[in-house]
A and B are shown apart, each in its own frame.
Chain A
Amino acid sequence: MEHRGLGWPRLPRLLELLAALAVQAVRASAVAAASPDLSLWPMPLSVQTTPRVLHLSPDNFFFGHSSTSKAGPSCSLLQEAFRRYYDYIFGFYKRHHGSADLRVGVELQQLQVSVVLDPECDAFPKISSDESYTLLVKGPVASLTANRVWGVLRGLETFSQLIYQDFYGTDAMAFNKFNVLHWHIVDDPSFPYQSITFPGLSQKGSYSSSHVYTPNDVRMAIEYARLRGIRILPEFDSPGHTQSWGEGQKDLLTPCYNGKDPSGAFGPINPIWNTTYSFLSKFFKEISTVFPDEFIHLGGDEVDFDCWASNPEIQDFMRDKGFGRNFKKLESFYMQAVLDMISAINKSSIVWQEVFDDASKLTPGTVIQVWKVEDYTQEQSKVTEAGFPVILSAPWYLDWISYGQDWKKYYAVDPLSFEGSQEQKKLVIGGEACLWGEYVDATNLTPRLWPRASAVGERLWSHKDVRGLEDAYRRLIVHRCRMLRRGIAAEPVFTGYCDEDRM
């Protein structure tokens, strides 16, 4: 899978992870909720362990670059990662145990990182990014080899999970090897994205002046994500889901009609005005410069045709175009125009499944996100049969909470269990867990997301045969405590406890 989302997943030739169990920097007394067995999440492609234990000491361990590595200390992405992971591993230890000296076995003094190909250190992660790595843990120097920095990040995470004293941080996505944040940034209720070209959009469309993402906020987010090998995929959903755009941009939305008179209400973006397209063109030009990812998500879901149908100008247009009363044709007309716009600025598009379902023809290469739960495997067949890449979300709507261990059903999903040829299956580039915001904000986001999304994370990273629920449960509860330790308020999987409960 390429696109692991909270964004996109990707798993090309992935990793071979060899690890002689590295562990232990102490904690003689504490009963770790973590067992001595490996509790890696998500499960690497291949793991070999031995019972040999190495110890690490914070005063005598460091991450370094191998002499033959194509990356070095000038690679700030790796330097930052070294700092972060050092903290994850030793932060707690230092704070609470001083420098207790427990020498058990050989000492692990260094993890030497070696990047084989051009590191891509200052680049942004892409869908085609190579995240593979090999980790060989033996004393006194362990080695982490990867083709690119992205693989180093993934390998560092795994390395930190092998050690029982990892710690700190607020980076749940990276802990779960998600690599795309699909940012559904605007919709009907509010428009928090502060546009430089059209400042009125957020001025009038946001909930309040403090409920905005400034260009600086966006920049920070993108860089923060990049340092963790996470792509940010922005979505500006249209023509539906655009009520909030109408506040700051007059004459963008369709005026709905009650018979001969405007009703006062507005519907989706008006697809027949030239001004619509000149606005969108300028708008997406800005988006393409603000967001470095190759892809932009254009939405295209749940377009309500009633308002269009009521509008006399649109009725005329439909007649002129020979669309009859088939508004899907109008929708397609609009979507294709926007897709062309995106192509013209050298970006690629992702859309929700309606754009495929309702279209007669569609730009090849457009990625289709399958979200409707009914018959989603059939949809996957249809989309891939037509040759389009697919991102799967339908079974992973995490906002649909329910009582009990629902992570199991997310875990049990097989993204490739649809009717189709091998070529078709290759078109499934990954999936995304979705946490829609009707009932979610900063007060409950973290516990609602984690560790439930972790189940999706493993499904998208690990091998398809890694599906045993008992083993997954065992590792997931450890992983949950690990996230707690690192400052993520992940909710419980089930009855039990973590040593970190006393927060």
Chain B
Amino acid sequence: MKQNTNKTSKPQSCPSSHLLPLHFLTSTQKSEAGQLFPVDTFFFHLFLFLTAGKWHMSEKNSLVILVVTPGCDQFPSLESVENYTLTINDEQCFLLSETVWGALRGLETFSQLIWRSPEGTFYINKTEIEDFPRFPHRGLLLDTSRHYLPLASILDTLDVMAYNKFNVFHWHLVDDPSFPYESFTFPNLTKKGSYNPATHIYTAQDVKEVIEYARLRGIRVLAEFDTPGHTLSWGPGVPGLLTPCYSGSHPSGTFGPVNPALNNTYEFMSAFFLEISSVFPDFYLHLGGDEVDFTCWKSNPDIQAFMKKKGFGDDFKKLESFYIQTLLDIVSAYGKGYVVWQEVFDNKVKVQPDTVIQVWREKMPVRYTKEMELVTSAGFRALLSAPWYLNHITYGPDWKNIYMVEPLAFEGSPEQKALVIGGEACMWGEYVDSTNLVPRLWPRAGAVAERLWSNKMLTNLDFAYKRLAHFRCELLSLQIPANTRPHPKQESLEVSPPPRNFGV
């Protein structure tokens, strides 16, 4: 009973045996779909029966891993080398990688190669894989301000990110509606700005846990503290930080973006970002800079005076520039690099040459492909997100559109294209919390993951569908409460009827 049936794909069924996540195929070597174990240790023992040709089988009981460059206790970075090779044959079962991060990627792939016969025996085919990612920055954004996400949701997401070889968790921690990040320098930020300071916050311990959990999976945590817009929740905890809007000559009672005209603002930002720089180990911080509404600034007489003093005329982009430049200098002084949303570039803010610009707007001020061209032509590195707003749900298999995006499909020289360091799938939180995060994210985000990891030529939708459908079944079996963390009810699923509600 469908009004607009998409009858092209066959219905997919998930066998109820214990399948494990399948990952996508790699750059060079075709391999059979398999079943896998998520692995937490480098060395483990499995009984592996190899089939080379029809008759030859031999039993293997270990995967030998050789990592060339030590770095077990380090944090992954944008420059991390994630290459690996996997050699499975009669003589050896061998994973070779430059770094531990490559080993993690290789282990994931290895785990996806293993499959199980109907009798229950584990097999792996003779395989040669040489693999490395197309883009070094493959990220996923979660928004914990519009809706609070329990720690378990974040950690679960990191797990599935690892299955997909995502390597950056872009944590959009705070925004207008709430401020769940527990600041030790400014505890009132959280006390006054969170939805509920007793329950809807991320303590220092929580944050540490996320960072370490991510690190163990080769995932960088890119923390975003978006200013000067998107900051309403900062106001209650730091009086005077936000611009009071005016109605004629009187304050209207409402507030706007951070007040760029006050010295206090920059003292606050200095102290705040000192904390942030110390808490988050990644070299990069995301400083936001998007959607700054100038109306409130315009209405405020102090700001009008400031504009005059600075000779900005009527151009509030100059004021925005002024704020952001000052902020960027503050953050640079702490030895951090930064990522910003595209408005910072569009509004001609003077930024350091190694700034990363995140392109998120689909059509304005220009089509995103044009924006990519402009950003890279100006010499900046770019991250693509515009076509990958996963929160924009629609009816039907939209993973196809997501998959078919080609990040380098814009006019530019090879040098320009080399400035595209990757992209991010975004799951903004206006309509998303732990009740629907998982089914909304997966497996659709998997389409982005493959686009960012795999070879550009991998565009066959049928081939992708087959593997994605299989991957989805694998994810299902992993979501069963085999994990020690409690799962929200809707995650522990059984594909077999009767529907879960019955009999409860």
Contact = CB atoms under 8 A, between A and B. Distances in A.
A211 B15 CA distance: 10
B177 A495 contact: yes
Interface string A477-494: 000000010010111101
A496 B435 contact: no
B493 A184 contact: no
A442 B431 contact: no
Given A403-B394, A501-B148, A490 B435 contact: yes
Interface of B: 1-3, 5-6, 11, 13, 15-16, 146-148, 150, 177-178, 195-196, 199-200, 391-397, 429-436, 438-440, 476, 479, 486, 488-491, 493-504
Given A211-B495, A446-B490, A491-B436, A439 B396 contact: yes
A340 interface: no
Nearest to A503: B488
A500 to B, nearest CB: 10
A447 B147 contact: no
A487 B488 CA distance: 10
B226 to A, nearest CB: 15
Contacts of A399: 395
16 contacts: A31-B196, A170-B501, A208-B16, A211-B497, A217-B498, A224-B503, A400-B3, A402-B393, A439-B395, A442-B495, A443-B438, A491-B432, A492-B435, A492-B436, A501-B147, A501-B150
Given A187-B1, A491-B431, 20 more contacts: A31-B196, A184-B1, A189-B11, A207-B13, A208-B13, A211-B496, A224-B503, A241-B1, A371-B3, A401-B393, A405-B431, A441-B493, A444-B436, A487-B489, A492-B431, A495-B146, A496-B147, A499-B196, A501-B433, A503-B488
Contact of B147 (A373, A448, A497): A497
B148 A447 contact: no
Nearest to A372: B3
Chain A interface size, as a band, is: 35 or more
B503 A441 contact: no
Contacts of B439: 443-444, 447-448
A484 B199 CA distance: 16
B200 A217 contact: no
Interface of A: 31, 170-171, 184, 187, 189-190, 192, 207-208, 210-213, 217, 220-221, 224, 237, 241, 301-302, 352, 371-373, 397, 399-405, 434, 436, 438-439, 441-448, 484, 487, 489-492, 494-497, 499, 501-503
A353 to B, nearest CB: 11
A241 B6 CA distance: 15
Nearest to B11: A189
Nearest to A483: B435
Given A31-B196, A487-B489, A495-B430, A371 B436 contact: no
Contact of B200 (A208, A302, A497): A497
A210 B13 CA distance: 12
Contacts of A495: 146-147, 177, 429-430
B320 to A, nearest CB: 25
A497 B178 contact: yes
Contacts of A241: 1
A212 B498 CA distance: 8
Contacts of B395: 399-402, 439
A170 B501 CA distance: 6
Contacts of B394: 401-403
Given A301-B1, A442-B499, A403 B391 contact: yes
Contacts of A184: 1
A492 B196 contact: no
B contact face: mostly helix, strand, loop, or mixed: loop
Given A442-B493, A444-B490, A447-B490, A221 B502 contact: yes
Which 4 A-B pairs rank lowest in CB-CB distance, beginning with the nearest?
Answer: A444-B439, A447-B436, A497-B195, A489-B435
A contact face: mostly helix, strand, loop, or mixed: loop
Contact of B436 (A208, A212, A489): A489
Nearest to A494: B430
Contacts of A442: 490, 493-495, 499-500
Contacts of B431: 403-405, 491-492, 494
Contacts of B491: 443
B498 A220 contact: yes
Nearest to B436: A447
A6 to B, nearest CB: 12
Contacts of B438: 443
Nearest to A498: B433
A210 B496 contact: yes
Contacts of A446: 435, 489-490
B341 to A, nearest CB: 19
A451 B161 CA distance: 29
A373 B395 CA distance: 16
A484 B147 CA distance: 14
Contacts of A373: 3
Given A402-B395, A497-B148, A491 B495 contact: no
A502 B196 CA distance: 11
B504 A170 contact: yes
B433 A492 contact: yes
B176 to A, nearest CB: 8
B199 A489 contact: no
A454 B147 CA distance: 21
B212 to A, nearest CB: 21
B13 to A, nearest CB: 5
A503 B150 contact: yes
A401 B439 CA distance: 13
Nearest to A190: B11
Contacts of A501: 147-148, 150, 199-200, 433-434
Given A438-B2, A494-B431, A192 B489 contact: no
Contacts of B199: 499, 501-502
Contact of A217 (B429, B436, B497): B497
Nearest to A442: B493
